[in-house]
Chain A
Amino acid sequence: MIERLSHGPASVHGLTEPFALSQQMISKHIAYLVRARIVIKTKRGRESICTLRPEAIKTVSDWAINYRRFWEESFDKLDVVVNEMKKAEARHDKKHG
């Protein structure tokens, strides 16, 4: 849910859609996040809009929210490093081979 909110504010209804949970369950989860001071809930007309608290984003520094993203993006960088290592090895072999 925090992952979803890291892309921008969303209504409670919008937050319910991607999950196979009832709106009641989602509301409960949101209430928990509001209590933990991670999410702010504001009324816009009849809808409740959820926003990540900027301070929470700063503390959490959104990579930490998403373990998968941490690894996917680290792997992207690892790929570059491995290729560099391979090139360096090839150069080394040429020099000494």
Chain B
Amino acid sequence: MTKNTGNEAERMVVTRIFDAPRELVWKAWTDPQYVMQWWGPKGFTAPVCKMDVRVGGKSLCCMRSPDGQECWNAIEYHEIVPHEKIVSDMYFSDSKGNKIEPAELGIEHEAIEGAHDVTLFEDLGNGKTKLTHIGNEPMESAKNSGQLEGWNQTLDKVAAVVAGLAQAK
């Protein structure tokens, strides 16, 4: 079961490169003051955002559609590497953060059992940050995906990375 066999197609991966340093993108992602400004699709607002970004913590966000309909999501955190990586679970909830089965909302949602969301913050240098959000990641690969991503990106730059690490020490 721990073998990385397929399911790649079923995973949703969204990436974006931001013209800002990693610390800033992290802040925008985790500080409710900023999350309220971007949470939800185009035209939606986020009237409520409570963030508790730590392992075992739970965040709660409400989004309001253009026609005034509200929908709540809760997020639980499994692993946090500051400025680098978040492994979390997002689900539909009521305004208290209690889980609601998607079917109850009439939502067709094919969640993969035991799967998580992985968010990666990657420093590209020159003040740029690559943000990767992977949905429905099985836990075993969620644990490793940070490293995997790092390897894929830097395989030919290992020497530079090591030098950077040495400098940071």
Contact = CB atoms under 8 A, between A and B. Distances in A.
B135 A67 contact: yes
A59 B40 CA distance: 16
Given A36-B106, A71-B133, A82 B20 contact: yes
Interface in B29-55: 29, 34, 37-42, 44
The 10 A-B pairs with the shortest beta carbon distances in the complex, nearest first, are A73-B41, A77-B38, A78-B38, A71-B14, A59-B106, A63-B41, A73-B42, A75-B16, A81-B37, A82-B20
Interface of B: 12, 14, 16, 18-20, 24-25, 27-29, 34, 37-42, 44, 63, 65, 67, 69, 71, 92, 102-103, 105-109, 131, 133, 135
A91 B55 CA distance: 34
Interface of A: 2, 33, 36-38, 56, 58-61, 63-65, 67-86, 89
B131 A75 contact: yes
Contact of B108 (A33, A71, A75, A76): A33
Contacts of B34: 81, 85
A89 B69 contact: no
Contacts of A83: 19-20
19 contacts: A2-B108, A36-B103, A59-B106, A60-B105, A61-B65, A61-B69, A73-B40, A74-B39, A77-B37, A77-B38, A78-B16, A78-B18, A78-B38, A79-B18, A82-B18, A82-B25, A85-B20, A85-B27, A85-B34
A2 B105 CA distance: 14
B18 A71 contact: no
Given A38-B106, A65-B107, A68-B12, A80 B38 contact: yes
Nearest to B103: A36
Contacts of A67: 12, 109, 135
Nearest to A77: B38
A81 B38 contact: yes
Contact of A77 (B14, B42, B135): B42
A83 B29 CA distance: 13
Contacts of A38: 106, 108
B107 A60 contact: yes
